[in-house]
Amino acid sequence: MPTLLAVAGALALAGGAQATTVSVVVVPPFPLERYAEQGAVGLMPPGDGQTVSREGALAALVRGKTRKSLLGGIPGGEPLIELASRPGALTIYVSLPPPGTHPNDVRYPVAILGGGYRGILESPSTRIPGLISIADIAPTAIALARDEDPRIGSTAGTPSDLRALDRTLRRQARARNPSVAILAFSAIAVAVLALLVRSPAIARAGVIASPLALAVSISLAGAGLTWPAVLLLALALLTVSLSLVGGAHLLRRALAVAFTALVAAYLVVLVVEPTWPALAAIGPTPGEGGRFYGSTNLTTSIVVAATLFAGGTFGLRGLVPVALLSLVTVGWSKAGADGGGLVVVAAGCAVLAMRLATGRMTVRAVAVASALAVGLGLALVALDAATGGSSHVTRRVGDGPGALLGELGNRLRISAERLATSWHPALVFAIAIAALVILATRRPRFAAGEALLVAIGVSLVVNDTPHHVAAAGAISYGVLWTFERLDSIPMRRLPVLAVIAAFAVGLAACGYEGETTASPESVEGTVTQPTETMTTETTTTETTETETTDTEPTEPTTTETTPAVEGDPVAGKAVFATNCGGCHVLDDAGTSGTVGPNLDESQPDEALVVDRVTNGAGVMPPFAGVLTAQQIADVAAYVSTAAGS
């Protein structure tokens, strides 16, 4: 059993006899069953982004906030808590990544013992039972020490539920890019087919393909369908078939009504069943610790295109309720409050209103509409906060203009980093912008299209995934343009360049492995400031890291690679179940851990098992000094004979 490694000082908040001693203790990854009977357990992404480091995770743990990996991954500010070397009256056990930088694809175990915690952990930061944010631990420790309501609570559940959640998150990660490719190709292929055969009905199918792909993705998540191969097949078949049926039976006004209904249904699901869109293949990336729920750049782009199409069809009077519905969907804290998305929707709707009112688009009209959009967005955020809403958007606005400008600067910096550090996002961005230019300079010019172009431009400024914004914008504009072209005027000549550009965008965007969320520069836990009678002792992150390094050596404690004594497989099975089963899959032992390698697949030999158990490897801690030489030999004998049997 791993010892309590790593950590200095207990969090003790003074202030009266009612103060509770809360210890936050960093330990090696542990089996969830170890603490499940004594308290509540959960899973935690250790950072925000594609990569994580132990240094960044330690800083996030003690400072109560995360920072995107593209910005260095290490949040600034003063520590809110100290880490502890021993349990307290109430103890929070946290596992973190090993030293170095690693892919952010492992959720680490967390446990809270005492204070009435039972079952699995939950937090409003994630809205996914069993999954918590590392930014919530420090605020929770402070609240518990003051006998206040903590941010992290608990609900009914078992370690098996957590393992099922982890499998779902891993499958979602594998299915995400292919699902986005299906969304893109469904819309593009149907639109190109419509151009080739000059069919308005097929063009309508292309318009409805992306919203249907989002709806189908959420429905499949709600039905619990998570196997990537089956999910992708169902997504492709349902999206294409429903699009063709809709295109054959829905005329322009009926299509606008259907879009409005889809946005309304999306809002209801975001509020009532937030785990469905959170765990859908087309949606946030909760497993990477960024945006855990709500709308993303991609889903907001779909909402914007649907809103502008419906508003352009209904006219100026009909635009108002549709715009308000969409603004609530992307801006309400209960639905997930995407600050950038709120500005984008407001800008697009304001420009469309100007266009419908005046019949033409001018630079002055765009400037006025943009100013109105910012004012409308701020008013809605203020209304949300005044009615009890709380999100990163309301907090940023509450921090004043300086914080908003700083946030905008960070997002522009992230956008530049994405395009400068990888050729693939840069290629997608370049092709998408070229496609937009080609399509925008060809007739017909239409009100919803002009408003969408402005919305795309605003989104490139306020959001931090320029390649996704540009690609989604090019596809959305392309399918709307195709519909207007076929529905409004006779086709005189096939726009070959537009077709090629649309296909190129789809090809370039498919298979992109990258961050797909539009999350704030940092995720912060809500912290109540200390009162005059309570103080928080703090340590610097550098001190914490030094102490961690001193007490958790990365050098092997022994160089033995063969067992010093003969191992007993029967005795080794019991040792394995107690110490290793929570991290590894081994069918013979009936274990299904989610942290370490699948031993049935790797089938290590006896000498390798001795080396790994003795010295540790990667996220696996060394067990030298924890297990006896005989126990290590027993485990090695058991694993080498039972793995894959």
3-state secondary structure 586-600: EHHHCEECCCCCEHH
State how far the Cα of 31 lies from the Cα of 584, in Å rounded to an integer: 9
At the top level of CATH, the class of 569-642 is mainly alpha
Q: Is the pLDDT of residue 2 over 60?
A: no
Count the Cβ atoms, other than its own, within 10 Å of residue 201: 17
Residue type, 312: G
> What integer pLDDT is reported at residue 558 of this predicted model?
36
Cα–Cα nearest to 573, from 563, 584, 564, 561: 584
pLDDT band for position 312 (50/70/90)?
A: very high
580 pLDDT band (50/70/90 cuts)? confident
pLDDT of residue 403: 67
Between 396 and 149, residue with greater pLDDT: 149
Partnered with residue 64 across adjacent β-strands are none
Across 306-319, b (16+ Cβ under 10 Å) vs e yields: bbbbbbbbbeeebb
* Per-state percent for the chain, helix, strand, coil, to nearest 5: 60, 10, 35
Q: What is the reported pTM?
A: 0.74
Cα dist. 366→53, 120, 327 in Å?
Answer: 44, 50, 19
Output the pLDDT for position 590. 80
* Residue of 583, 610, 437, 604 whose CA lies nearest to 30: 583
In this model, does residue 331 exceed pLDDT 90? no
Strand 153-155, strand 585-586: pairing? unpaired
488-530 tens-digit pLDDT: 654 444 454 454 455 455 544 544 444 434 343 345 554 443 3
| Helix (H) / strand (E) containing 384 | helix 363-386
Cα of first residue to Cα of last residue in the chain, in angstroms, is: 26
Token pair 């158990």 is at which residue? Answer: 613
Q: Which two tokens stand for residue 221?
A: 């998540």
Helix crossing, 339-358 with 316-331: angle to 10°? 170
| pLDDT above 90 as % of the chain | 36
Give the strands of the sheet with 108-113, arranged side by side.
11-12, 21-26, 90-94, 108-113, 39-44, 119-122, 153-155
Burial grade of 279 (CB within 10 A; 0-12, 13-18, 19 or more): buried
Helices assigned H by DSSP within 552-597: 569-579
Of the candidates 622, 637, 414, the residue with the CA atom closest to the CA atom of residue 515: 414
Longest dimension (CA), the chain: 88
* Average pLDDT across the chain, whole number: 80
Q: Is the pLDDT of residue 227 over 60?
A: yes
Give the separation between CA 190 and CA 476, rounded to whole angstroms.
13
* Nearest Cα to Cα of residue 480 among 321, 327, 297, 348: 348
Cα dihedral: 17, 18, 19, 24 (round 10) = 130
Tokens of 548: 């961690």
Provide the 3-class DSSP secondary structure of residue 622.
coil
Token pair for 315:
């006219």
Q: In this model, does residue 10 exceed pLDDT 60? A: no
**Which residues neighbour 402 within 8 Å (Cβ) at sequence distance 6 or greater?**
none
Tokens 């809002």: give the residue.
267
At residue 19 the predicted structure's pLDDT band, cuts being 50, 70 and 90, is: low
Which value, in Å, is the radius of gyration of the alpha carbons in the chain?
Answer: 27
Please give the backbone phi and psi of residue 108, each rounded to the nearest 5 degrees, phi first.
Answer: -95, 145
| Average confidence (pLDDT) over 49-61 | 92
- Over pLDDT 70: what percentage of the chain? 80
Cα separation, 629 vs 105, whole angstroms: 33
Tokens of 557: 């404690």
Tokens of 259: 């879009």
Name the one residue in this structure whose structure tokens are 């304001």. Answer: 350
Long-range CB pairs of 530-535 (<8 Å, 24+ gap) are 530/13, 530/142, 531/15, 531/146, 533/14, 533/15, 533/16, 534/13, 534/14, 534/15, 534/19, 534/145, 534/146, 535/13, 535/14, 535/15
**Amino acid letter for position 395:** R
pLDDT band at 606 (very low <50, low <70, confident <90, very high): confident
Q: For the chain, where do the domains classified as CATH 1.10.760.10 start and end? A: 569-642
For 568-578, letters b (16+ CB in 10 Å) and e give bbebbbebbbe
Lowest-pLDDT range, 22-26, 156-160, 407-411, 480-484?
A: 407-411
